[in-house]
Chain A
Amino acid sequence: MIPAPAFLTNPERFMAFSRWAAPMFGALALVLGAVGLWLGWSAPPDYQQSFTVRILFIHIPTAWMSEFVYACLAVASLLSLVWRQVLADAAAQAAAPLGAGFTLLTLATGALWGRPEWGTWWVWDARLTSELILFLIYLGYMALRASMDDEAKAARAAAILGLVGALILPVIHYSVYWWNTLHQGASVFRSGGSALAPVFFWPVILIVLAYTSAFGSLWLVRIRGEVWRRRAEVAALRAARG
């Protein structure tokens, strides 16, 4: 078996690593985001979508993040379930509210783009509906954890839900091919090259990297919070026992 890096399994080393990595990812996100937005807002309006193309600079990256964060949650759930790693459980728990935030933004910015382009805020299209299901899975995951007092049982139940919920990821990705949808197919990465002109492609890529970096920073901060919370609970138990 390939050993995991120590900073991913040892809480002490993780805390030392995340102390400098979290602000570093945050600073990187700010730089990438600023350059991406500057390039995006310097581009001319699209010949078909006009100015609404500017919504895509933030919609496509949030859509990517909604799925990427869930993939992180699922991998952490697997590590937690199989190897009983406490840090992996904390990582899965910490990812859920961030993923819910990105998915909410995907649905909201998608509706704000859809109204002027499609003439409707919402349709029960396979891509939109599967994204909504992903949002509900995030909420369900958080609700499940919050509903159980026993931390070990909550971790196990949440890890199972986290893994089962990952089945939605291929459904979201392939929904535009499996069903006849109003939502367009892949336009950024596809065989034959991107459908986006370079003036739109590069801002999207930079903002995807900025969002990924921002998630990295916030995820580490939330995992740190979880480590402190669990340490505080152990300390409280010790204090209660005298």
Chain B
Amino acid sequence: MIHLETGKYAFYIWTAYGLTAAVFAAMIVTALGHARRWKARYEDLARK
């Protein structure tokens, strides 16, 4: 059973988890964006 209570430490705990989620999201978006952008660029040049 999950207990979501955090008592008086809510600010510290939720900020830590929020930052972790934000940094992971940024790493995923930049990694996928970088790969897609350069793949599209290569395919565009290879077609010419």
Contact = CB atoms under 8 A, between A and B. Distances in A.
Chain B interface main SS type: helix
A17 interface: no
B7 A218 contact: no
A50 B9 contact: yes
Contact of A51 (B6, B38, B45): B6
Interface residues of A, number: 38
Contacts of B28: 218
Nearest to B4: A41
Nearest to B41: A232
B20 to A, nearest CB: 5
Contacts of B20: 58, 62, 105, 109
Interface residues of B, number: 33
A229 interface: yes
Interface stretch (A96-104, A123-131, A163-171, A193-201): A96-104
Contacts of A55: 12-13, 16
A144 interface: no
25 contacts: A41-B3, A41-B4, A50-B7, A51-B9, A51-B13, A55-B16, A58-B17, A59-B16, A97-B27, A101-B26, A101-B27, A104-B23, A105-B20, A109-B19, A112-B19, A214-B24, A221-B35, A222-B31, A222-B34, A224-B39, A225-B31, A228-B38, A232-B38, A232-B45, A239-B45
Interface of B: 1-7, 9, 12-13, 15-17, 19-20, 23-24, 26-28, 30-32, 34-35, 37-39, 41-42, 45-46, 48
